[in-house]
Amino acid sequence: MVSTRASSRRKRFTNQSSFQRHQRIHTGEKPYQCSQCGKSFTRKYTLQTHQRIHTGKKPYQCSHCGTSFKQKAHLQTHQRIHTAEKLYQCPQCGMSFRLKHHLRGHQRIHTGEKPFICVQCGAKFSHRSNLKTHQRIHTGETPYFCSQCGKSFNRENNLRRHQRIHTGETPYFCSQCGKSFNQENNLRQHQRIHTGEKPYFCSQCGKRFNRENNLRQHQRIHTGEKPYFCSHCGKRFNRENNLRRHQRVHTGETPFICVRCGAKYTNKRSLIRHEHIHAGEKP
């Protein structure tokens, strides 16, 4: 038995390797580096899990529907779709969650707590993962790339969603109407069409929403928060899609194209207005 004293507490370990691993929390040492992207990790197992982003390997398969996952924990979470198991319930609104940390994150909707702060611009977030993703706006980092087409993403779930374009996979089925989805979140949101459920409500004005993201966007009306800002001119926005639309002013990107004449526009609204010309309508 190996032991170490930190402050007034003594932490014990069953073997020397566990003790050495623990010490890296204090030293910040990350000896295991990914040969593909250079990212470093404190544990060999974490490196091996990370490398599956590059290889696309998914060794953990669901026995119910065949969906595969890179991590065992993700498989276990997924399997609760089939069992409908939701162990953790919010005492304020009764909404249930499959994971305890999802409940904790959800409860911040009710408390308004945003403990994770961006040191670059001061934007505040209720989830650490949202802060990490936000920080890539400043760094421009897109560490997750598709092995099929090379496109890179700033979020792993965006990569997974993108990869289903290549595979055509839609593993999430609605038990009410049979419609299938490539994301679990899209399935849950769709099911609220059948139930009429609006579980997310604003503590300021009581307005209810069927999506958590819609609630967060709405709350910025009350707080005046504008967490998304343009790295070119500093202009700030309360929605990420508004920032992306604005950035086309600087980049000159015109992704909306008229199929009749090839005219290009920076936003969909301008394209729709233009299409009225072909239809003989007044815009």
pLDDT in tens, 229-283: 899 999 999 888 889 889 998 998 988 899 999 999 888 888 899 888 887 765 5
pLDDT, position 1: 54
Mean pLDDT over each residue of the chain, to the nearest integer? 83
Q: Assess if residue 275 is contained within a domain.
A: yes
Average pLDDT for 200-208: 91
How many domains does the chain contain in total? 1
Model confidence at 76: pLDDT above 80: no
Select from 96, 103, 60, 51 the least CA-distant residue to 78.
Answer: 60
Q: Which pTM value belongs to this model?
A: 0.36
The answer to whether residue 249 is domain-embedded is no
Can you give the pLDDT at residue 6? 42
User: Among residues of the chain, what percentage have pLDDT more than 70?
Assistant: 92
Task: Classify residue 197: in a domain, yes or no.
Answer: no
Mean pLDDT of 29-38: 85
Picking from 37-46, 73-82, 87-96, 102-111, which range would have the lowest pLDDT averaged per residue?
A: 73-82
Minimal CA–CA distance to 50: which of 133, 143, 141? 143
Q: Which residue has the higher pLDDT, 24 or 148?
A: 148
Contacts of residue 247, defined as CB under 8 A and 6 or more positions apart, other chains included, come to: 230, 232, 253
Among residues 241, 186, 181, 175, the alpha carbon closest in space to that of 210 is found at 186
Asked if residue 273 belongs to a domain, the reply is: yes
Q: What is the mean predicted confidence (pLDDT) over 41-50?
A: 82
Q: Is 171 among the domain residues?
A: no
Percent of the chain with pLDDT over 90: 11
What would the mean pLDDT of 40-44 be, rounded to a whole number?
82
Q: What is the pLDDT of residues 3-18, one digit of tens each?
A: 544 444 567 767 777 7
Reported as a pLDDT band with limits 50, 70 and 90, residue 222 is very high
Q: Is residue 274 part of a domain?
A: yes
Report yes or no on 137 lying in a domain.
Answer: no
* Residue 272 structural domain: 255-283
Mean pLDDT of 114-135: 88
